[in-house]
Amino acid sequence: MNTRERFQAVMDFRPYDRLPLLEWAVWWDKTIERWREEGLPKRVKHRYDLYRHFGLDMYMQDWINTYKRNCPHPVSHGAGIAADEADYLRIRRHLYPKRVVNHRRWARWTALQAQGEAVLWFTLDGFFWFPRQILGIERHLYAFYDQPELMHRINSDLTEWLLSVIDELCSAYTPDFVTIAEDMSYNHGSMLSKSSFDEFLKPYYAQIVPALHKHGVRVIVDSDGDISQAAHWFEEVGVDGILPLERQAGVDISAPSGASNHALRRPF
C-alpha cells in the first residue's frame, strides 16, 4: 500500500498493511537543535525533510491564515486584540484575507498525492478557537453571556470567509481531510456547555461541514483535553472524527443511550 491508500483504508475501516507512521504536530526548534547536536545531518532542514529522514508517511498540512499580514498582535499570550464590538469592527479589515491558497505549493503537493506518496490536509480556525483569539481567553468565556451578539457576529463573518476558502481550495484540489482548530476542552472536559455549543457553534458547523463533504473532504476537529463528552456534539453536526482523543480516568466515553457510537469508533 502507498501512503494515501493506507490512509483511506484506515479511515474507511478496510484492511491495511500497517498503521500510518506520522507526526502530525511540528517539532519545536529546540528539539531539532538537540538532534543536530546528536548527529542529525545538516541537509535535513525542513518538516518534510524530517519526515523522510525518519521514514514517516508524508502528511502535508496547510494552515489557512485567518489574519492579514498587518493585523495587530495581542500584547501578551491570551490577551486578544479586541474587547467589544467596536474594537472588532475596527480590526475586521485586518481579518479574512482573499486569495489564501498557495497554488504553487498545492500543485507540487498534488503531484505527490496523485502518485500516492502524500496525504494532503489543511487546517481552519474553528468557532470556539477564533473568537478566543480575537477576544482573549478570559474575555471570550465571559462573552458567551455578556456579548452574545458579538460572538454570533464573529462566527457569522468567519463562516462566510471559511465557505469562500473551501470553495477556492477544493474547486482546484482534493484535500484528503481538514482539521478544525478548536482546543475547547481541558483535563476535566469541555469549557462550554451543550446548550452553549448548540447556540454558538452548531449553526456554523451545520454550514461548513456539508460544504466540505460535498468535495469529499473528511472533517476532523482538533481539541486538547478531555473531549469525550463533546465528541457526541460534533457527531451531531456531521464531523467525522476527533483528534487527539483523551479522557479523564474513569469517564465513560460510550455513546449515550439510544445514540450511535460510530463517531467514537472512528480512527482518531
Q: Decide if 24 is inside a domain.
A: no
Q: Is residue 50 part of a domain?
A: no
Tell me: pLDDT of 51 over 70.
yes
Q: What is the dihedral of CA 56, 178, 133, 105, to 10 degrees?
A: 70
In a domain? residue 35: no
Residue 61, pLDDT above cutoff 90 = yes
Give a yes or no: residue 25 inside a domain. no
Residue 259 lies in a domain: yes
| Number of independent structural domains in the chain | 1
Q: How far is CA 195 from CA 42, 144, 264, in A?
A: 52, 11, 21
Q: Average pLDDT in the 253-262 region? A: 39
The pTM for the full model equals 0.89
Q: What pLDDT was estimated at residue 245?
A: 66
CATH number, domain with residue 108: 3.20.20.210
What does the pLDDT read at residue 185?
93
Average pLDDT over residues 32-50: 95
User: Tens of pLDDT along 71-106?
Assistant: 999 999 999 999 999 999 999 999 999 999 999 999
Evaluate if residue 268 carries a pLDDT over 60. no
| Domain range enclosing 137 | 58-248+255-265
Separation between Cα atoms, residue 76 and residue 78, nearest integer Å: 6
